[in-house]
Structure 1
Amino acid sequence: MVSDNTPTSRHHGAPKHGDALLAGLLRCRRCGRKLTVRYTGAKHDIPRYSCWRGLLDNGEPRCIAFGGLRVDDAIKDALLRVVEPGAITAAAEAEAQVASRRDQVRDALARDLEAARYGADRAFRQYDAADPENRLVAAELEARWNRALARAAEIEAKIAAHDTATPRPSSLAALDAAALGTDLRTVWEAPTTDARLKKRIVRTVILEVVADIDDDASEIVLLIHWIGGVHTELRLPKRRRGQRNSTAPEIIAAVRQLVLLANDDLIAGILNRNGLLTGHGNRWTRERVTALRSHHKIPVFRPAPDGTEPWLNLTNAARLLGVTTKTLRLAAEAGSIEGVHPLPDGPWIFARAELGKPPAQQLTQRARQNPKYPTGSHPDQQNLFTSEV
């Protein structure tokens, strides 16, 4: 029996239980032992691969360990890139080969039927030309004719059975190959797809995966040994604890700026309006924004006690300068006046201190000197929005 610790082992066994895609396929590059998998997290559904057979068996230091979610995703993407076009081509080729074999069988039966019918017709002519008085000859010719008819009927029955057993042409041939590839990925990623089926697919095309950690580059190094002898190396950044479900840095940076003039409820609405989700893929709520701020130590928005806000949105900043919101927005986009626009569908943010500096005053003077573009809206015009993007 081949030892599990032998690097040349080609027997990785049946798919293991659990969601870990590579359970039983990963091998440590440093010691040659297979990596084990354990599940962590609140629901015990987050796999983590570790090489600690040496620790358990001989008390040796543990070699390597890393989270399994990113590794499984990388292997899945690599496998789908390899399998999708190959699977479609192989399926089409196999279907064509089977159809060709069916056609060859039916052609052979058709030729046999033609020969049997010719033999039956020839036997009938011989029987018909025989002298009825010669009973022995007539009886023999009649027996030959009957045997030829039975042979033809037997072949006709075989052709009918063959046509009945032949399935209808598959509709796969009419589908686009790219659509099939998309469907394959969709089926793979569907939550109803059995994890054991995915593992069987992986074990069909992958012999094993040799894993190591590049400590200098902080990367996980994977060498995929495909069935057939081809090798592929993947390098993945090593994930920090809790990083997979963490909020995107861009969202955190936007929240740091939005708290200058918006409360948590309003920030949640702005994030949802921009189509942004939490690290777990949920929509934002006031409670989730509050939790994000608390975790990253972002201060909460508090209105100024004297009513003089240090940060203004586009509408209030334009009113302070006495210009239209369009004039101020174009100046901010051109960089003439310093302003912050954290999200495409969100408010502009201006510091009150910046609006008192010469660039802002010059903008006001230029707007007043150009009668074609009024400096502001009519005092009687009502504003339907509290903030303008």
Structure 2
Amino acid sequence: MPHELITPSHLARRAVIYIRQSSPHQVLTNQESLRLQYALRSRALELGWHEADIQVIDSDLGLTAASAQHREGFKELLSQVTLGQVGLILSIDVTRLSRNCSDWYPLLDLCGYKQCLIGERDGLYDPGTPNGRLLLGLKGQISELELHTIRLRLTAGLLNKAERGELALTLPVGLVREPQGTVVKDPNREVQARVALVFETFLTQHSAAQVVRVLREQALTLPRRDRFGDITWRRPSVASVVAILRNPAYAGAFVYGRTRTERSGPGPQHARQRRLPINEWKVCVKDKYPSYISWDTFERIQAMLQDNYAEYDRNKTRGIPRPGQALLQGLVYCGVCGHKMVIQYKGGAHYLCNYLRQQFRESVCQYIPANPIDEAVIAAFFAALAPVEFDAYTAAMAERHRTQQALQQARAQQLQRLRYQLALAERQFLQVDPDNRLVAAELESRWEQALREVRDAEQALAQETSCTGASETLDPQLKAAFTTLGQQLPTVWDQLAREQQKAFLRCLIDKVVLQRTASDQVHLRLVWKGEQVTTLDIPLPVGSLAEYAQGTAMTERILALFAEGRDDAEMAEMLTREGFRSPMGTTVLPSTVKTIRLRHGCLQTRHQSHPRRIVGYLTVPQVAERLAVPRHWLYDRLHNGTIELAPDPVTRLYLFPDNPSTLEQLHQLREGQLNRVRFSQEHQDA
């Protein structure tokens, strides 16, 4: 019997049955709910609609109603209501339509405007009437609240289980969960050894990229899990190595909430996962799993990974040591503004503070050459290291022996696995029916591939073993020479690579603060590990004597020493002992003394400088001064032949006759009254 709200205009349009379940799991398991929703067709027939006018929309099966953005069936329903084609929307209950009020109320407005009824299994409502809209609005709010209540209830249970460390999260490779729920190490010893090798290599090389390089040089693969959870062996990559190094499960800790979802807008495409620091993890239960490394080692590895960012200026980390010339990369801070200084290699290595220029378009804060800073820091580093002596040869050989043993063990385990795969391929090939050529051909190909892999692994292992044996035997003469070289680091410093030198400096130095106190001097504050501080004043090279802070005092001292009859070399040595230096050097050069002396007209021998006046003649500067013309005006015409005059063979100067006619002719040449002038050569014949 038709309902009192149903009119002929409703029956003239379509009845749409909207079917939805929240997840694919519910679609497979909640079959009774699915049957009840499809049975709403009989409900539409009871309300007066014909079979041909009933449409079922079930394209949203397995999708949540928390948002309408990803539900194509709901969008299709809205479009039909907008076009006025729907007279009734039927659902098992209104929560099937939406669990979000921002999607629910626009649907009510649209249905009220288009006179479309909304029905469920036990009721029928008209959104265009106050009572209908009130009831539907309450149902929508309850539906949205119910979704949050369910989520909070489930999340509370999940967190409660996680706080006990009993939540069954996906375990990384190297750890497996037994049927009774106990977590143990993978029984495959090769998997255990390869995971341990990654941590050992990183603690030696201090870089994930270097771990990948070592593994690839040794032709070693890494165990990874495929999408089915099975172990597969793949070529190592930086991402796979970092995934192992960052996983706290290897340190025996159960961790939940290592990431946080941040949304920049509605919809899943605006959500991104942000990795949280250790102190912000939601749950961390230590000593829950069997560990490959200790928790202290894990924290040290995380600090090293954070410190290894190349963008150390942006992230305020030191960065990994690199082969650049500047030794204090990532350690230098500006003493003026306090920001980290970067390195610029244009025109030589320099430490540059350009933070204010980047942020506020102001001028560069400081621009300091790197070489004198590095030399002073190295000297301070050696002074701090002098009391600490160590046997470099023994330490290096012991570390190398441990690394080679770990790599050889990894190769041997890999060879053992390949031999098992070879035996398995052989058994599979021998068990196949010979007449089944399609299968036999494929198994034969796998057998041949396994044979090649075993042969290559055996050859590589044999070659590595021979090389290791040769490297472990050191020539006695070479060992004696190494011992004679000494046990202190300064003696072998120049033989180290730049990366190694930087790594040594970082062992003791926390940061270096630079502040230019004068154009030729920098105040350096060296902060050591343990917060000890060393301050130094470092001289910097400058381009001229005017930029040298002690230039005036050094000039006065040079004039005083010249009056005492000192020569240039003697004055340079005395000035160096007194603390002076040349603008571009660390000592006073005799050439600097000579330049200053000549600039003040202090001549030690007369032949060092041309006489200023020659009787009966005028030099080019003298003529230029009397004519009020630049000197190059005369030199240009002397070179192009407009003024014909040969240089004097004794002084090699252009000497003009000192008489009024000379100046008159040159004046007429300048005014354009003469095209060429020629002067006598009598002074050359004298």
Give the TM-score normalised by structure 1. 0.40
The one of the two structures with greater contact order (alpha-carbon pairs below 8 A, sep at least 6) is: 1
Give the TM-score normalised by structure 2. 0.25
